[in-house]
Chain A
Amino acid sequence: MEISVSETAGVNVVALSGEIDLQTSPKLRGELLGLIANKKPLVVEMSDVSYMDSSGVASLVEAFQTARSKNLGFSLAAIGEAPLRVLKLARLDGVFVIHDTLENAISANGEN
C-alpha cells in the first residue's frame, strides 16, 4: 500500500494505492488520524486500491467517526470496484460520504 498526502483548496487529500490489509492498515490508520488532528476536511482517494480487508474498513470507520466528532468533512472519492464491494458487504456504503471523482469531493468539502 502506498499513501500520498497533498492539500488542495484547504482540503487534505490522501491518495491510496495497492492492498490495504492487516499488515498495512495500522499505517493508514495513523496517517488518517494524524491528518484529522490538523482540523482540515479530509478526502480519501481510492481509485488505485486493489484490495481492502476488514482492518482497512475499520481504519476508515474510525477516521470517519473521529472527523465527524470534530465536525470535519470526511469523504471517500473515486472508490474502485474491489474496495466498494467490501464496503457493501459491510453495509457501510450508505454510511460513508462517497464521491465519484476527487474534484467533486474537494468542491463538496469546500462548500462545507
Chain B
Amino acid sequence: MAGEMENTKQLEILASMGRDFAASGDIKSVFLTGLERIAAMLNAEGGALFLLDENGDKLVCHAGFGPVDISGLTINATDGIVGRVVSAGVGEIVRDVSKDPSFNNVVDKKSGFTTRSILCAPLGVKGEKIGAIEVVNKHGGDNLFSNEDLKLLETLAASASLAILNARMAIELVEKEKMARELELAAEIQKSLLPPDGETDSPVAGVNLAARVVSGDFYDFFELEDGRTCFTLADVSGKGMNAALLMAKTASLFRCLGKETPYPGNLIARINAEVVETSSRGMFVTMMIGIYDPKEGTVRIANAGHEPPLLVMADGAVRSFPASMPPVGILPDIAMGKPPEETIINLDGGAFYVFTDGVTEGYIGEKELGADGFIKLINDGKNSLPRERISAIAKHIKDGSSALRDDVTILVVDDAMAFAKRKKKNTKQDNKNKSDGSGGYGRMAKIVVPATAESLKLVRRVAESASANCGFSNDATQDIVLAVDEACQNVIRHAYDGVNAGDMIINISRNAQSLIIEIRDFAQRVDPEKIHPRDLGDVRPGGLGTHFINEVMDKVEFKVPNDGKKNNEGNLLVLTKSLK
C-alpha cells in the first residue's frame, strides 16, 4: 500500500517535471521545482543538480536548495562525490561524508553547514553522461539514506535525464525557428534596399533573384543632377541578420555620400572608413561603384575586391576590369596611402555588366555557368532591352539550377541608345561645321615645341594671351595657363617618360561657347584609364597636376589622334573651358 503511494507520488513528480519543461522556457526554475519535490519525497535537508558543461570537463550546479544555495558552483568533472558518481555512472549512498576522502568540504567550511550524508545518482541517457542529482542529510528515522531511497533517486534521475534532453532539444528547435525568422527578416531588408525599376528602356538596370538562404547582395543606382548615373553592386560576406544589417548600412552610406562625392574611388574610400569603424570583425563587403555619363559614353569605376565587371562591345569584344582595392571593411585606409584608384572606360555603344559570383557559379544542369556561359547568354539577348536581357539571364540561371545556392544579381549599363543619339548629334555638328566654311573652330594659335621643361614658359605665354583675348578674367586666365602647363608637364614627364623624345603641338581655338586647347604628342599611347586625380585629403608631393586640370577645365578628353601625322601615333588631349 505504502509502496503504491510512493509510486503514485513518483509518477506525479515525473509528470509535473515533464509538463513544466514543456511549458516553461525557464529551465532553471523547472530544475529547482523538480529538485525540491524529489528532496521532499526523500526527507532530505537540501539538494543540488549538477550538469556537465559543453566540453564535459566541468560540473556546474544549475539548481540547489536547502540551507546553503550552491547554484553556480563549478567543480572539475571528476572531483568530489558528484564527480565520482558522474564518472562511474553509478549512484551512491555516502552515509558519513567525513570518512569519504573524495568529499569536498569547502562549502561546509564557508557556510557553517554540516553535510553528514549524501545520496547521489547520475543523470544520463544511453551512455551519454549529463550530470548528477544529489540530496543531503536525511531527516527522520535513523537519519540514514536507504537502498530504497537510492533506487527511487535513480528512477527519478533517469526520467529527469529524458526531460532535460527533451528540453535541450526544444531549445535548439526554438533557436532554429528564431534563425529562420531572422533569415526571413533579412530577406525583407534585402528586398527593401533594391531600387524600383526605372523606365523599361532605361540604360541602367538591375536584377536580383534571392536564393532560399539570404546572401548579402544588393545593387542601387540614382541619377546625379548633371544627368550622369551613379551605380553600385555589392556583396556582403556571410549570411543572415548580421549580413543584412551591414548591407543596409553600406547601401544607405552609398545613397547619402554618393550625392556629395561623385568620384567612385573617393566614395568607396569614405564608405570604407565608416564601415571599418563599426562593422564586426571578419565581415566585409566587395563593392563596385561607377558613374555613367551618357553624354560621353564613359563609365568611371572603382572596384573594391569585387568580381571583375565585364564590358561587352557591340562587335562581341569583351574586356574585364579586376579589382584595384581590397574589399570594404578590412583596412582603415582602403587605398593604402595612395589616391583611391579609378578606371575610366569608354563604352562606345557597348554594355557594362557588374554581377556577383552567384551568376558565374550558377549551375546550368550539372555544369557551372562560368564567365564564358554568361557572355554567351549576354550575346543571346543582345537584341532585347537592357533590363529584359539581364532578367532573362537571371531566370535562365534560376531555372537551370535545382536550387539557387547563392543570390543571382546583375547590373547593366548599356550605352547603345546614348551612342546612337551622340552619333546623330555629331553628324549634325559636322555638317554645321562644314557649311560655315571655316573647317571647324576659329584658330587662335598653334605652336610646335620640343617636349621639355624649357618649353613651358613659351607655352604659358601663348595660352595666357589666347585666354585673355577670349575675355577671361585675370583669375580664370591664370587657371587656364596652369591647366595647360600641367597638361604639357604630363606629356613631358609621362608620355615621353622623362626623355626628350619629340615634339608637342599646342593648338588653341575657340568657338561660340568655348576655348579649346588641343595638346598633341607622338609618344607611346597613354592609357587614360591609368590617369587619375590625387586624393586631396592626402598631403604629399606629386600627383597634383591632373587634379588641377580637372578642377580648372570644364571638359578633359583623351582622344585618339586622327590628323594623319606619323600614322596617327601618340596622344591627343583636348581641354575645353566654357566662355561663360
Where the two chains meet, the residues of A that have a C-beta atom closer than 8 Å to any C-beta of B are: 19, 21-23, 51, 53-55, 57-59, 61-62, 65, 82, 85-86, 89-92, 95
Task: Assess whether A58 is in contact with B541, with CB atoms less than 8 Å apart.
Answer: yes
Looking at chain B's contact residues, is the secondary structure mostly helix, strand, loop, or mixed?
helix
Task: Assess whether A90 is in contact with B548, with CB atoms less than 8 Å apart.
Answer: yes
Given contacts A21-B456, A53-B482, A90-B547, contact A58 B536 (CB under 8 A): no
* Total A-B Cβ pairs within 8 A: 63
Q: Is B576 an interface residue (CB 8 A)?
A: no
List, sorted by A's number, 12 A–B pairs whose CB atoms are closer than 8 Å: A22-B485, A51-B460, A53-B486, A54-B542, A54-B544, A54-B545, A57-B544, A58-B544, A65-B541, A82-B478, A85-B479, A89-B479
Residues of A within 8 A of B541 (CB): 57-59, 61-62, 65
Task: Assess whether A61 is in contact with B540, with CB atoms less than 8 Å apart.
Answer: yes
Residues of B within 8 A of A22 (CB): 453, 456, 485, 489, 492-493
Residues of A within 8 A of B544 (CB): 54, 57-58, 90
The 8 closest A-B pairs by CB, nearest first: A58-B541, A23-B453, A54-B544, A22-B453, A54-B545, A62-B541, A91-B536, A61-B541
Task: Assess whether B551 is in contact with A53, with CB atoms less than 8 Å apart.
Answer: no
Distance from B544 Cβ to chain A, minimum over Cβ atoms (Å): 4
Which residue on B lies nearest to A59, using beta carbons? Answer: B541
Residues of B within 8 A of A92 (CB): 539
Within 478-513 of B, Cβ neighbours of A (below 8 Å) are at 478-479, 481-482, 485-486, 489, 492-493
Task: Assess whether A95 is in contact with B453, with CB atoms less than 8 Å apart.
Answer: no
Q: Is B457 an interface residue (CB 8 A)?
A: yes
Q: Is B475 an interface residue (CB 8 A)?
A: yes
Residues of A within 8 A of B460 (CB): 19, 21, 51
CA distance A68 to B186 in the complex (A): 51
CA distance A89 to B492 in the complex (A): 22
Residues of A within 8 A of B492 (CB): 22
Residues of B within 8 A of A55 (CB): 489
Q: Which of A51, A82, A89 contacts B548 (CB 8 A)?
A: A89
Q: Is B315 an interface residue (CB 8 A)?
A: no
Distance from A69 Cβ to chain B, minimum over Cβ atoms (Å): 13
Q: Is B552 an interface residue (CB 8 A)?
A: yes
Distance from B436 Cβ to chain A, minimum over Cβ atoms (Å): 36
Task: Assess whether A95 is in contact with B489, with CB atoms less than 8 Å apart.
Answer: no
Within 442-495 of B, Cβ neighbours of A (below 8 Å) are at 453-454, 456-457, 460, 475, 478-479, 481-482, 485-486, 489, 492-493
Which residue on A lies nearest to B545, using beta carbons? Answer: A54
Residues of B within 8 A of A57 (CB): 541, 544
Distance from A12 Cβ to chain B, minimum over Cβ atoms (Å): 20
Distance from B328 Cβ to chain A, minimum over Cβ atoms (Å): 25
Q: Which of A23, A61, A85 contacts B539 (CB 8 A)?
A: A61
CA distance A53 to B479 in the complex (A): 10
Q: Which of A19, A53, A61, A85 contacts B475 (CB 8 A)?
A: A85
CA distance A24 to B508 in the complex (A): 26
Which of A19, A51, A57, A95 is most buried by chain B, counting CB atoms within 10 A of its CB? A51
- Please give 20 more A-B residue pairs, beta carbons under 8 A apart, in addition to A21-B485, A85-B479, A90-B544: A19-B457, A22-B453, A22-B492, A53-B482, A53-B486, A53-B545, A54-B542, A54-B544, A57-B541, A57-B544, A58-B542, A59-B541, A65-B540, A65-B541, A82-B478, A89-B482, A89-B547, A89-B552, A90-B548, A95-B539
Residues of B within 8 A of A82 (CB): 478
Residues of A within 8 A of B479 (CB): 85, 89
Distance from A60 Cβ to chain B, minimum over Cβ atoms (Å): 8
Task: Assess whether A54 is in contact with B489, with CB atoms less than 8 Å apart.
Answer: yes
Residues of A within 8 A of B545 (CB): 53-54
Residues of B within 8 A of A62 (CB): 541
CA distance A19 to B459 in the complex (A): 13
CA distance A95 to B541 in the complex (A): 13
Distance from A40 Cβ to chain B, minimum over Cβ atoms (Å): 22
Distance from A107 Cβ to chain B, minimum over Cβ atoms (Å): 26
CA distance A55 to B541 in the complex (A): 8
Distance from A73 Cβ to chain B, minimum over Cβ atoms (Å): 17
Residues of A within 8 A of B453 (CB): 21-23
Distance from A59 Cβ to chain B, minimum over Cβ atoms (Å): 7
CA distance A55 to B481 in the complex (A): 15
Which residue on A lies nearest to B460, using beta carbons? Answer: A51
Residues of A within 8 A of B548 (CB): 54, 86, 89-90
Which residue on A lies nearest to B551, using beta carbons? Answer: A89
Residues of A within 8 A of B475 (CB): 85
CA distance A53 to B549 in the complex (A): 11
CA distance A92 to B537 in the complex (A): 9
Residues of B within 8 A of A95 (CB): 539
Give a binary string over B539-566; 1 marks a CB under 8 Å from any A CB, 0 the rest. 1111011011001100000000000000
Task: Assess whether B536 is in contact with A23, with CB atoms less than 8 Å apart.
Answer: no
Task: Assess whether B457 is in contact with A21, with CB atoms less than 8 Å apart.
Answer: yes
Which residue on B lies nearest to A58, using beta carbons? Answer: B541
Which residue on B lies nearest to A63, using beta carbons? Answer: B541
Residues of A within 8 A of B552 (CB): 89
CA distance A22 to B453 in the complex (A): 6
Distance from A32 Cβ to chain B, minimum over Cβ atoms (Å): 11
Given contacts A61-B541, A82-B478, A91-B536, contact A53 B489 (CB under 8 A): yes
